[in-house]
Amino acid sequence: MAYRADAAVRDTYRVLRELADSRELLEELRGAEAAFNRFASSSPRRPEGEYEELLPWLLDQAADFEAAAAAGAPAAPPLLLESPPRYRLFDASRGGCAGCARALLRAAKTQSVNRDLQAAASECIHAVLPVASLPEEEAGAAGPAADVGDLPRAGHWQDLRYRGDWMLRPIASNEVGWLARLLVSISRSINSACALDGVPLRAPAPAPAPAPGAAPAGGARRAGAAPGGQEQPETLLQEWLLVARRRGWRVNLRPLAEKQTLAWLLAAALLLYWTVLWLASPPREGGGWGDAAAEAPAGGQQQQQQWQRQWEQHQQERQQWQQQYEQQQQQQYQQQRQQPPQPRVQQWQDVPGGGPADLGAW
Protein backbone atom coordinates (compact mmCIF):
# COMPACT_ATOMS: atom_id res chain seq x y z
CA MET A 1 0.00 0.00 0.00
CA ALA A 2 1.63 3.24 -1.17
CA TYR A 3 1.29 6.41 0.87
CA ARG A 4 3.18 9.64 1.47
CA ALA A 5 5.14 9.41 4.69
CA ASP A 6 5.80 13.15 4.91
CA ALA A 7 2.10 14.01 5.29
CA ALA A 8 1.58 11.21 7.83
CA VAL A 9 4.63 12.29 9.85
CA ARG A 10 3.49 15.92 9.83
CA ASP A 11 -0.04 15.06 11.02
CA THR A 12 1.30 12.72 13.70
CA TYR A 13 3.66 15.39 14.96
CA ARG A 14 0.86 17.98 15.19
CA VAL A 15 -1.30 15.68 17.33
CA LEU A 16 1.38 14.22 19.58
CA ARG A 17 2.98 17.62 20.15
CA GLU A 18 -0.17 18.81 21.94
CA LEU A 19 -0.28 15.66 24.06
CA ALA A 20 3.40 15.97 24.96
CA ASP A 21 2.88 19.55 26.14
CA SER A 22 -0.07 18.60 28.38
CA ARG A 23 0.90 16.00 30.95
CA GLU A 24 -2.46 16.22 32.73
CA LEU A 25 -4.34 15.42 29.52
CA LEU A 26 -1.96 12.56 28.83
CA GLU A 27 -2.58 11.01 32.25
CA GLU A 28 -6.33 11.49 31.81
CA LEU A 29 -6.27 9.64 28.48
CA ARG A 30 -4.21 6.80 29.94
CA GLY A 31 -6.64 6.38 32.82
CA ALA A 32 -9.67 6.47 30.52
CA GLU A 33 -8.14 3.90 28.16
CA ALA A 34 -7.30 1.50 30.99
CA ALA A 35 -10.78 1.87 32.51
CA PHE A 36 -12.46 1.32 29.14
CA ASN A 37 -10.44 -1.80 28.30
CA ARG A 38 -11.31 -3.30 31.70
CA PHE A 39 -14.99 -2.44 31.23
CA ALA A 40 -15.16 -3.82 27.66
CA SER A 41 -13.48 -7.14 28.56
CA SER A 42 -15.38 -7.76 31.81
CA SER A 43 -18.47 -9.97 32.05
CA PRO A 44 -20.94 -8.77 33.16
CA ARG A 45 -20.05 -5.21 32.30
CA ARG A 46 -20.41 -2.90 35.27
CA PRO A 47 -19.12 0.66 34.96
CA GLU A 48 -17.09 1.62 38.01
CA GLY A 49 -14.71 4.36 39.02
CA GLU A 50 -14.56 7.99 38.01
CA TYR A 51 -15.45 7.21 34.37
CA GLU A 52 -18.59 5.16 35.10
CA GLU A 53 -20.89 7.64 33.31
CA LEU A 54 -18.64 7.79 30.25
CA LEU A 55 -17.81 4.10 29.75
CA PRO A 56 -21.17 2.89 28.27
CA TRP A 57 -21.15 5.79 25.81
CA LEU A 58 -17.54 5.04 24.79
CA LEU A 59 -18.44 1.40 24.21
CA ASP A 60 -21.40 2.30 21.98
CA GLN A 61 -19.30 4.75 19.99
CA ALA A 62 -16.46 2.26 19.57
CA ALA A 63 -18.90 -0.40 18.35
CA ASP A 64 -20.39 2.06 15.85
CA PHE A 65 -16.94 3.02 14.54
CA GLU A 66 -15.90 -0.62 14.19
CA ALA A 67 -19.13 -1.45 12.36
CA ALA A 68 -18.66 1.51 10.01
CA ALA A 69 -15.07 0.47 9.29
CA ALA A 70 -16.11 -3.13 8.63
CA ALA A 71 -18.90 -1.97 6.31
CA GLY A 72 -16.38 0.04 4.26
CA ALA A 73 -14.01 -2.88 3.77
CA PRO A 74 -13.97 -4.48 0.30
CA ALA A 75 -14.27 -7.96 1.81
CA ALA A 76 -17.62 -9.66 1.34
CA PRO A 77 -19.51 -10.54 3.46
CA PRO A 78 -18.90 -7.70 5.99
CA LEU A 79 -16.57 -8.45 8.86
CA LEU A 80 -18.19 -9.59 12.09
CA LEU A 81 -17.19 -8.05 15.41
CA GLU A 82 -16.43 -11.16 17.43
CA SER A 83 -14.27 -9.50 20.10
CA PRO A 84 -15.17 -6.35 22.03
CA PRO A 85 -13.55 -3.11 20.87
CA ARG A 86 -10.33 -2.08 22.57
CA TYR A 87 -8.36 1.17 22.77
CA ARG A 88 -4.66 0.81 21.84
CA LEU A 89 -3.24 4.31 22.02
CA PHE A 90 -0.91 3.46 24.91
CA ASP A 91 -0.81 -0.29 24.25
CA ALA A 92 2.59 -1.87 23.57
CA SER A 93 1.18 -5.07 22.07
CA ARG A 94 1.00 -5.93 18.37
CA GLY A 95 -1.28 -3.66 16.39
CA GLY A 96 -1.07 -0.79 18.86
CA CYS A 97 -0.43 2.86 18.13
CA ALA A 98 3.20 2.63 19.25
CA GLY A 99 3.97 -0.06 16.65
CA CYS A 100 2.31 1.99 13.90
CA ALA A 101 4.34 5.05 14.91
CA ARG A 102 7.60 3.03 14.84
CA ALA A 103 6.73 1.75 11.35
CA LEU A 104 5.94 5.31 10.25
CA LEU A 105 9.38 6.52 11.36
CA ARG A 106 11.07 3.71 9.43
CA ALA A 107 9.07 4.56 6.31
CA ALA A 108 9.98 8.24 6.69
CA LYS A 109 13.68 7.35 6.59
CA THR A 110 13.26 5.40 3.35
CA GLN A 111 11.28 8.21 1.65
CA SER A 112 13.74 11.00 2.55
CA VAL A 113 11.38 13.07 4.65
CA ASN A 114 12.66 16.34 6.14
CA ARG A 115 15.18 15.46 8.86
CA ASP A 116 14.07 18.23 11.21
CA LEU A 117 10.49 17.01 10.96
CA GLN A 118 11.64 13.42 11.53
CA ALA A 119 13.58 14.40 14.64
CA ALA A 120 10.70 16.44 16.10
CA ALA A 121 8.17 13.69 15.36
CA SER A 122 10.46 11.00 16.82
CA GLU A 123 10.90 13.03 20.00
CA CYS A 124 7.13 13.46 20.44
CA ILE A 125 6.45 9.80 19.66
CA HIS A 126 8.96 8.57 22.25
CA ALA A 127 7.60 11.08 24.82
CA VAL A 128 3.95 10.06 24.42
CA LEU A 129 3.84 6.44 23.21
CA PRO A 130 5.52 3.40 24.83
CA VAL A 131 7.83 2.76 21.87
CA ALA A 132 10.66 1.55 24.12
CA SER A 133 8.41 -1.21 25.48
CA LEU A 134 7.70 -2.76 22.07
CA PRO A 135 8.66 -6.40 21.51
CA GLU A 136 11.77 -7.16 19.50
CA GLU A 137 9.86 -8.42 16.46
CA GLU A 138 8.10 -5.07 16.13
CA ALA A 139 11.37 -3.17 16.33
CA GLY A 140 13.00 -5.21 13.54
CA ALA A 141 12.95 -4.70 9.81
CA ALA A 142 9.94 -3.17 8.17
CA GLY A 143 7.44 -5.57 6.66
CA PRO A 144 3.75 -6.05 6.09
CA ALA A 145 1.65 -6.49 9.21
CA ALA A 146 0.29 -9.95 9.81
CA ASP A 147 -3.27 -8.88 10.59
CA VAL A 148 -3.69 -5.83 8.35
CA GLY A 149 -5.76 -7.38 5.57
CA ASP A 150 -7.85 -5.13 3.37
CA LEU A 151 -8.09 -1.66 4.84
CA PRO A 152 -11.43 0.24 4.72
CA ARG A 153 -11.89 3.36 2.69
CA ALA A 154 -10.97 6.75 4.12
CA GLY A 155 -13.46 8.25 6.54
CA HIS A 156 -14.61 11.79 7.19
CA TRP A 157 -14.72 14.01 10.28
CA GLN A 158 -18.51 14.09 10.06
CA ASP A 159 -18.55 10.37 10.87
CA LEU A 160 -17.12 11.15 14.33
CA ARG A 161 -20.43 12.14 15.84
CA TYR A 162 -22.69 10.78 18.52
CA ARG A 163 -25.05 8.23 16.99
CA GLY A 164 -27.12 7.29 20.00
CA ASP A 165 -30.07 9.00 21.65
CA TRP A 166 -29.36 12.71 21.22
CA MET A 167 -31.13 13.59 24.45
CA LEU A 168 -28.82 11.23 26.40
CA ARG A 169 -25.57 12.44 24.82
CA PRO A 170 -22.59 13.32 27.09
CA ILE A 171 -22.47 16.73 28.74
CA ALA A 172 -20.98 19.31 26.37
CA SER A 173 -18.80 22.27 27.32
CA ASN A 174 -21.59 24.76 26.53
CA GLU A 175 -24.04 23.14 28.96
CA VAL A 176 -24.57 23.37 32.72
CA GLY A 177 -24.01 19.82 33.92
CA TRP A 178 -26.39 19.56 36.88
CA LEU A 179 -29.14 21.45 35.02
CA ALA A 180 -28.80 19.22 31.94
CA ARG A 181 -29.13 16.06 34.09
CA LEU A 182 -32.19 17.51 35.86
CA LEU A 183 -33.90 18.50 32.59
CA VAL A 184 -33.16 15.11 31.03
CA SER A 185 -34.69 13.37 34.06
CA ILE A 186 -37.80 15.58 33.85
CA SER A 187 -38.09 15.00 30.09
CA ARG A 188 -37.87 11.22 30.49
CA SER A 189 -40.52 11.29 33.23
CA ILE A 190 -42.90 13.33 31.06
CA ASN A 191 -42.31 11.10 28.02
CA SER A 192 -42.88 7.99 30.12
CA ALA A 193 -46.11 9.37 31.60
CA CYS A 194 -47.44 10.45 28.18
CA ALA A 195 -46.22 7.33 26.31
CA LEU A 196 -44.01 9.42 24.01
CA ASP A 197 -41.16 7.15 22.93
CA GLY A 198 -40.06 9.12 19.86
CA VAL A 199 -40.97 6.32 17.41
CA PRO A 200 -43.65 7.19 14.82
CA LEU A 201 -46.69 4.95 14.89
CA ARG A 202 -47.53 3.05 11.77
CA ALA A 203 -50.98 3.47 10.31
CA PRO A 204 -53.17 0.43 11.11
CA ALA A 205 -54.08 -1.82 8.24
CA PRO A 206 -57.65 -1.31 7.02
CA ALA A 207 -60.06 -3.99 8.11
CA PRO A 208 -61.51 -6.14 5.31
CA ALA A 209 -64.99 -5.18 4.24
CA PRO A 210 -67.67 -7.64 5.44
CA ALA A 211 -69.63 -9.62 2.92
CA PRO A 212 -73.02 -8.20 1.89
CA GLY A 213 -75.65 -9.23 4.36
CA ALA A 214 -73.20 -10.70 6.87
CA ALA A 215 -73.10 -9.45 10.46
CA PRO A 216 -69.75 -8.05 11.64
CA ALA A 217 -67.72 -10.41 13.80
CA GLY A 218 -67.71 -9.62 17.48
CA GLY A 219 -70.84 -7.53 17.44
CA ALA A 220 -71.30 -3.92 16.48
CA ARG A 221 -68.45 -1.52 17.06
CA ARG A 222 -68.91 1.21 19.58
CA ALA A 223 -69.64 4.65 18.25
CA GLY A 224 -66.62 6.16 20.01
CA ALA A 225 -64.07 3.62 18.71
CA ALA A 226 -61.71 4.58 15.92
CA PRO A 227 -60.38 2.30 13.15
CA GLY A 228 -57.48 0.15 14.31
CA GLY A 229 -58.80 -0.40 17.85
CA GLN A 230 -57.87 3.06 19.18
CA GLU A 231 -60.23 5.30 21.07
CA GLN A 232 -61.22 8.64 19.64
CA PRO A 233 -59.72 11.59 21.58
CA GLU A 234 -62.26 13.27 23.82
CA THR A 235 -60.23 16.33 24.84
CA LEU A 236 -57.79 18.63 23.10
CA LEU A 237 -54.90 17.28 25.21
CA GLN A 238 -55.63 13.72 24.13
CA GLU A 239 -55.73 14.83 20.52
CA TRP A 240 -52.33 16.52 20.83
CA LEU A 241 -50.82 13.43 22.48
CA LEU A 242 -52.21 11.22 19.72
CA VAL A 243 -50.68 13.46 17.04
CA ALA A 244 -47.33 13.45 18.90
CA ARG A 245 -47.32 9.63 19.10
CA ARG A 246 -48.14 9.27 15.42
CA ARG A 247 -45.35 11.64 14.35
CA GLY A 248 -42.76 10.38 16.83
CA TRP A 249 -42.51 13.58 18.86
CA ARG A 250 -41.35 13.71 22.47
CA VAL A 251 -40.46 16.24 25.15
CA ASN A 252 -36.80 17.31 25.29
CA LEU A 253 -35.98 20.11 27.75
CA ARG A 254 -32.22 19.67 27.51
CA PRO A 255 -31.64 22.68 25.16
CA LEU A 256 -32.66 24.89 28.10
CA ALA A 257 -29.44 23.85 29.87
CA GLU A 258 -27.20 25.45 27.23
CA LYS A 259 -25.36 28.54 28.40
CA GLN A 260 -26.36 30.65 25.41
CA THR A 261 -30.02 29.71 25.94
CA LEU A 262 -29.81 30.69 29.60
CA ALA A 263 -28.26 34.02 28.62
CA TRP A 264 -31.09 34.76 26.18
CA LEU A 265 -33.71 33.78 28.78
CA LEU A 266 -32.10 36.06 31.36
CA ALA A 267 -32.02 38.96 28.89
CA ALA A 268 -35.68 38.36 27.98
CA ALA A 269 -36.67 38.26 31.67
CA LEU A 270 -34.89 41.57 32.36
CA LEU A 271 -36.52 43.17 29.31
CA LEU A 272 -39.95 41.96 30.42
CA TYR A 273 -39.36 43.24 33.97
CA TRP A 274 -38.40 46.73 32.80
CA THR A 275 -41.33 46.81 30.35
CA VAL A 276 -43.85 45.96 33.07
CA LEU A 277 -42.22 48.47 35.41
CA TRP A 278 -42.34 51.16 32.73
CA LEU A 279 -46.04 50.53 32.04
CA ALA A 280 -47.01 50.39 35.73
CA SER A 281 -45.25 53.60 36.83
CA PRO A 282 -47.28 56.90 36.66
CA PRO A 283 -46.05 59.75 34.42
CA ARG A 284 -44.15 62.72 35.83
CA GLU A 285 -44.77 66.36 35.03
CA GLY A 286 -42.17 67.77 32.64
CA GLY A 287 -40.52 64.38 32.26
CA GLY A 288 -42.51 61.53 30.88
CA TRP A 289 -42.90 57.84 31.23
CA GLY A 290 -39.20 57.19 30.63
CA ASP A 291 -38.06 59.41 33.53
CA ALA A 292 -40.61 57.87 35.89
CA ALA A 293 -39.55 54.33 34.94
CA ALA A 294 -35.88 55.20 35.36
CA GLU A 295 -36.37 56.61 38.86
CA ALA A 296 -38.98 54.08 40.01
CA PRO A 297 -36.56 51.43 41.39
CA ALA A 298 -34.76 53.99 43.58
CA GLY A 299 -37.89 55.76 44.77
CA GLY A 300 -39.30 55.19 48.23
CA GLN A 301 -41.77 56.84 50.51
CA GLN A 302 -40.65 60.34 49.53
CA GLN A 303 -41.20 59.63 45.86
CA GLN A 304 -44.72 58.38 46.54
CA GLN A 305 -45.52 61.46 48.60
CA GLN A 306 -44.24 63.70 45.84
CA TRP A 307 -46.44 61.94 43.28
CA GLN A 308 -49.41 62.29 45.67
CA ARG A 309 -48.83 66.04 46.03
CA GLN A 310 -48.56 66.44 42.28
CA TRP A 311 -51.81 64.56 41.79
CA GLU A 312 -53.61 66.72 44.38
CA GLN A 313 -52.24 69.85 42.71
CA HIS A 314 -53.59 68.68 39.34
CA GLN A 315 -56.99 68.06 40.93
CA GLN A 316 -57.09 71.54 42.46
CA GLU A 317 -56.16 73.17 39.16
CA ARG A 318 -58.88 71.20 37.45
CA GLN A 319 -61.51 72.30 39.98
CA GLN A 320 -60.45 75.96 39.63
CA TRP A 321 -60.70 75.75 35.86
CA GLN A 322 -64.14 74.15 36.15
CA GLN A 323 -65.36 76.94 38.46
CA GLN A 324 -64.05 79.64 36.13
CA TYR A 325 -65.79 78.02 33.19
CA GLU A 326 -69.12 77.83 35.07
CA GLN A 327 -68.84 81.51 36.11
CA GLN A 328 -68.24 82.58 32.51
CA GLN A 329 -71.25 80.61 31.33
CA GLN A 330 -73.46 82.18 34.02
CA GLN A 331 -72.32 85.71 33.14
CA GLN A 332 -73.09 85.18 29.47
CA TYR A 333 -76.56 83.89 30.37
CA GLN A 334 -77.30 86.97 32.55
CA GLN A 335 -76.17 89.33 29.81
CA GLN A 336 -78.46 87.66 27.28
CA ARG A 337 -81.47 88.02 29.62
CA GLN A 338 -80.83 91.72 30.26
CA GLN A 339 -80.76 92.63 26.55
CA PRO A 340 -84.17 93.83 25.02
CA PRO A 341 -85.83 91.43 22.58
CA GLN A 342 -85.13 92.19 18.92
CA PRO A 343 -88.01 92.49 16.39
CA ARG A 344 -88.80 89.33 14.48
CA VAL A 345 -87.83 89.36 10.83
CA GLN A 346 -90.74 88.87 8.41
CA GLN A 347 -89.90 85.93 6.21
CA TRP A 348 -93.06 85.83 4.05
CA GLN A 349 -94.27 88.71 1.86
CA ASP A 350 -97.96 89.52 1.59
CA VAL A 351 -98.22 88.98 -2.13
CA PRO A 352 -101.61 87.91 -3.48
CA GLY A 353 -101.36 84.33 -4.64
CA GLY A 354 -97.87 83.82 -3.23
CA GLY A 355 -98.21 83.72 0.59
CA PRO A 356 -98.84 80.86 2.95
CA ALA A 357 -102.50 81.86 3.26
CA ASP A 358 -103.10 80.68 -0.29
CA LEU A 359 -101.85 77.13 0.47
CA GLY A 360 -105.29 76.14 1.68
CA ALA A 361 -106.80 77.07 -1.69
CA TRP A 362 -104.66 74.43 -3.31
Q: What is the pLDDT along the chain (362 residues), one digit of tens a residue?
A: 455 777 888 888 888 888 888 888 888 888 888 888 888 887 777 777 788 888 888 888 877 777 666 655 444 444 444 567 788 888 877 778 888 888 888 888 887 778 888 888 888 888 888 888 887 654 444 444 444 444 445 555 555 566 677 888 888 888 998 999 999 999 999 988 888 877 776 655 555 666 565 555 554 444 444 444 556 667 887 888 888 888 888 889 999 999 999 999 999 999 999 999 888 876 665 555 555 555 555 556 777 788 888 888 888 898 888 888 888 888 888 888 777 666 665 555 555 555 555 554 44
Q: Is 171 helix (H, G, I), strand (E, B) or coil?
A: coil
Measuring CA to CA, which residue among 154, 138, 15, 134 is closest to residue 73? 154
DSSP 286: T
Of 251, 280, 309, the residue that ends a domain is 280
For residues 23 and 155, membership in a common domain is answered with yes
φ, ψ of residue 135 to 5 degrees: the values are -65, 165
Note the pLDDT of residue 362: 44
61 lies in some domain: yes
Look up residue 348 and give its amino acid. W
Measuring CA to CA, which residue among 62, 64, 82 is closest to residue 72? 64
Report which secondary-structure segment, H or E, holds 225: none
For residues 33 and 88, membership in a common domain is answered with yes
DSSP 195-219: T--S-PPPPPPPPPPPPTTPPPTTS
358 lies in some domain: no
Cα torsion through 18, 31, 147, 104, rounded to 10: 20
Of 219, 247, 280, the residue that ends a domain is 280
106 lies in some domain: yes
For residues 117 and 258, membership in a common domain is answered with no
DSSP 3-state helix, strand, coil percentages of the chain (rounded to 5)?
55, 0, 45
For residues 105 and 175, membership in a common domain is answered with no
For residues 189 and 148, membership in a common domain is answered with no
For residues 13 and 152, membership in a common domain is answered with yes
For residues 184 and 63, membership in a common domain is answered with no
Of 280, 314, 344, the residue that ends a domain is 280
317 lies in some domain: no
15 lies in some domain: yes
For residues 98 and 185, membership in a common domain is answered with no
52 lies in some domain: yes
Could you give the C-alpha distances from 284 to 69, 268, 290, in angstroms and in order?
74, 27, 9
Note the pLDDT of residue 269: 95
For residues 151 and 178, membership in a common domain is answered with no
- The total domain count for the chain is 2
Report how far residue 73's alpha carbon sits from residue 88's, in angstroms, rounded to the nearest whole number.
Answer: 21
Note the pLDDT of residue 285: 55
For residues 182 and 274, membership in a common domain is answered with yes
Provide the residue range defining the domain that includes 88: 4-137+144-159
272 lies in some domain: yes
155 lies in some domain: yes
For residues 89 and 56, membership in a common domain is answered with yes
For residues 128 and 273, membership in a common domain is answered with no
